[in-house]
Amino acid sequence: MEKKQITPINYDNPVIDIKDLYKSFGDMHILRGVDLALFQGENLVVLGRSGTGKSVLIKIISGLLSKDSGKVIVLGEDMGNLSKRELTALRLRVGFSFQNSALYDSMTVRENLEFPLIRNKRYLSRAEIDYEVQEVLSAVGLMQAIDQMPSELSGGQRKRIGIARTLILKPEIMLYDEPTAGLDPITCTEINGLINEVQQQYKTSSIIITHDLTCAREVGDRIVMLLDGKFEQQGRFEDIFDKPKDPRVQAFYDYNFVD
Partner 1 sequence: MFKKIENTLITLSKVHEFIMQFFRELLIPPYEFKEFVRQCYEIGVKSLPLISLTGFIIGIVFTNQSRPSLEDFGATSMLPSAIAIAIVRALAPLVTALIASGKVGSNIGAELGSMRVTEQIDAMEVSGINPFKYLVVTRVLACTLMIPVLSCYTGFVGLIGSGLNVYQHEQVSFISFFDQVFNTISFLDINQALVKAAIFGFTIGVVGCYQGYNSMKGTEGVGKAANAAVVLSMFLIFIEEQLVVMVVQSIRG
Which residues form the interface with ligand ADP (CB under 6 A)?
25, 30, 48, 50-56
What distance, in Å, lies between the first and last C-alpha atoms of the chain?
A: 20
User: What is the distance between the alpha carbons of residues 196 and 44, in angstroms, rounded to a whole number?
Assistant: 11
Between 51 and 80, CB nearer to ligand ADP: 51
From the CB of 188, what's the least distance to partner 1, in Å? 21
Contacts of 255 (CB under 8 A, 6+ apart): none
Cβ atoms of 233 and 46 within 8 Å: the answer is no
Of 45, 94, 183, 195, the residue at the interface with partner 1 (CB under 8 A) is 94
From the CB of 105, what's the least distance to partner 1, in Å? 7
Q: With binding defined as CB under 8 A, does residue 120 bind partner 1? A: yes
Q: With binding defined as CB under 8 A, does residue 108 bind partner 1? A: no
Q: Which does 22 bind (CB under 5 to 8 A by kind): partner 1, Mg ion, ligand ADP, none?
A: none
The region of 19-27, 72-80, 97-105, 133-141 touching partner 1 under the rule CB under 8 A is 97-105
Cβ atoms of 218 and 3 within 8 Å: the answer is yes
Q: With binding defined as CB under 8 A, does residue 126 bind partner 1? A: no
Largest CA distance in the chain: 58
Cβ atoms of 161 and 223 within 8 Å: the answer is no
Length of the chain: 259
Q: Which does 236 bind (CB under 5 to 8 A by kind): ligand ADP, partner 1, Mg ion, none?
A: none
From the CB of 68, what's the least distance to ligand ADP, in Å? 13
> Which residues sit at the interface with Mg ion, rule CB under 5 A?
55
User: Which of 32, 11, 169, 152 minimizes the C-alpha distance to 96?
Assistant: 169
Between 55 and 233, CB nearer to Mg ion: 55
What percent of the chain is helix, strand and coil (3-state, nearest 5)?
40, 25, 35
User: What is the distance between the alpha carbons of residues 95 and 126, in angstroms, rounded to a whole number?
Assistant: 23
Cβ atoms of 46 and 57 within 8 Å: the answer is yes
Q: Which does 14 bind (CB under 5 to 8 A by kind): ligand ADP, partner 1, Mg ion, none?
A: none
Residue ranges that bind partner 1, judged by CB under 8 A: 59, 62-64, 88-89, 91-92, 94-96, 98-100, 102-105, 115-116, 119-120, 122, 165-166, 169
